[in-house]
Structure 1
């Protein structure tokens, strides 16, 4: 991801290596995978990662965990300034086997800033090694954030989900989806939860959030976004946003 890092990040004989990168709005990194696990952290812009299992969206000041071997495509929404950590598989025991968006503590943000300033082959004794060891410990304490959108394997249901993502709205109903798919309500709810791990209502909320975040990060008014997504008023959108993410839209994206 920039600076001819593809070979470096795999082959440097260190358990953790770090790089800083910058990308223009709209830049896409084609599907690829790493032998190492990866932690992304963006200070600006929104990063969208897609795998065959779903989509993950990383707002500014948050992070994203991508396990070793997972094929993923990355898209930049806005100008992105990013730091990346790459972990040898033996250095990340206990980390999730699927992608996750995670919170980044002030300590971890400081550690990331220090890590990218180190040479790729940093000293294995003293401060450099201690810093990277502390990063490995902190990795296991990063809180997971509800910013993923799993996609079902069932072709008909997956097609319906992708169509919804092109124009998400809080007003789509289970009954409407049941009718379109020719399923009973009970069959639909069981299938949807089995294939996504979420209820339909929770998945619908996630889709609306993920449609809103890039626009919020770009500075668009909350009122405009709420109306475009089909909410009756900005207060209803803000209430949903706070219930899921624990803060108002503006507070959530405010740089600390």
Structure 2
């Protein structure tokens, strides 16, 4: 079984692009990935990363995705991306030749993982690295691609601006998410008018300032909850005066309460 750990990314590592198979799956596990970040890189093959335990975030130009347990991130081949890992992490990584299936997403996205897709990733990760093609193995990979092609896209995406003036503000907001400053206050920090800041954010992200900050809160909440933080702690760290107001915001965006959202992922429900 190709198994990646924090100790196996050196001489033992074989780049998936160098493995002559159209689809290859790795398992990955670590007791402590706190603060570990994979610098921007790309693969010729497309990639699906399923998180079983812990959480990770993936950033590409123009977007940030957070992946909680029972979810996955899809990264098309050739996409420059960086990965940040949080806490004890366990999951599966499948690399797929970009010409294998035209039904697969053309852009990076987070997807919900059905029990069948999860079991297929587990099963294919138990194949030898240079597994024999044809017969049962090829049929197994075909079913994996079928299930991936119909996976539901999740709203765990945060559009990221590229304008340096905006990126400076965004970095400050992400470093101090409890700061509930107004649009005018944040504009002052960047030396911009509130109107200019609002226009730039809308142009670069497709969202209003308030909507973008709300989505940032959801993304951070999912990441922290997956890392073991309590709902009370997350609400406080995001600057909410009460837990109910945070829960209302979370439910508005993701359609369920934070407690139920995480419980469903740990229970294995789709």
The 3 A distance-change label for structure 1 pair 208 and 98 is same
Displacement of 1:252: 1.3
Answer yes or no: is 1:173 the counterpart of 2:146: no
Distance in 1 (CA, whole Å) between partners of 2:172 and 2:15 is 39
Instruction: Indicate the residue corresponding to 1:69 in structure 2.
Output: 78
Select which of 4, 9, 12 maps to 2:16. Answer: 9
CA deviations on 1:161-208 (whole Å, 9 max, x unpaired) are 111111114833333334444555554333212211322222101211
CA deviations on 1:43-95 (whole Å, 9 max, x unpaired) are 11111122332322111111011111122221211110120000001114243
CA contact (8 A) 1:168 1:229 kept: yes
Distance in 1 (CA, whole Å) between partners of 2:220 and 2:251 is 16
Select which of 6, 25, 30 maps to 2:33. Answer: 25
Aligned length: 256
C-alpha RMSD over aligned residues: 2.2
Which shows bigger deviation, 6-15 or 145-154? 6-15
> Partner of 1:64: helix, strand, or coil?
strand
Instruction: Indicate the residue corresponding to 1:112 in structure 2.
Output: 121
The 3 A distance-change label for structure 1 pair 184 and 97 is farther
Instruction: Indicate the residue corresponding to 1:211 in structure 2.
Output: 220
CA deviations on 1:223-253 (whole Å, 9 max, x unpaired) are 1221221112111111111121222112212
Distance in 2 (CA, whole Å) between partners of 1:190 and 1:142 is 34
Displacement of 1:142: 1.5
Distance in 2 (CA, whole Å) between partners of 1:122 and 1:87 is 15
Select which of 204, 227, 234 maps to 1:225. Answer: 234
> Partner of 2:239: helix, strand, or coil?
coil
CA deviations on 1:82-133 (whole Å, 9 max, x unpaired) are 2000000111424344321111111111111111111223333322211111
- After TM superposition, the structure 1 = structure 2 runs for residues 53-68 of structure 1, keeping only pairs within 5 Å, are 53-68=62-77
> Partner of 2:99: helix, strand, or coil?
helix
TM-score (norm 1): 0.90
- After TM superposition, the structure 1 = structure 2 runs for residues 170-209 of structure 1, keeping only pairs within 5 Å, are 171-181=180-190, 183=192, 185-209=194-218
Answer yes or no: is 1:82 the counterpart of 2:91: yes
CA contact (8 A) 1:122 1:129 kept: no
Distance in 1 (CA, whole Å) between partners of 2:123 and 2:214 is 37
CA contact (8 A) 2:105 2:149 kept: no
> Partner of 1:90: helix, strand, or coil?
coil
Distance in 2 (CA, whole Å) between partners of 1:112 and 1:48 is 20
Distance in 2 (CA, whole Å) between partners of 1:235 and 1:103 is 26
Distance in 2 (CA, whole Å) between partners of 1:62 and 1:76 is 14
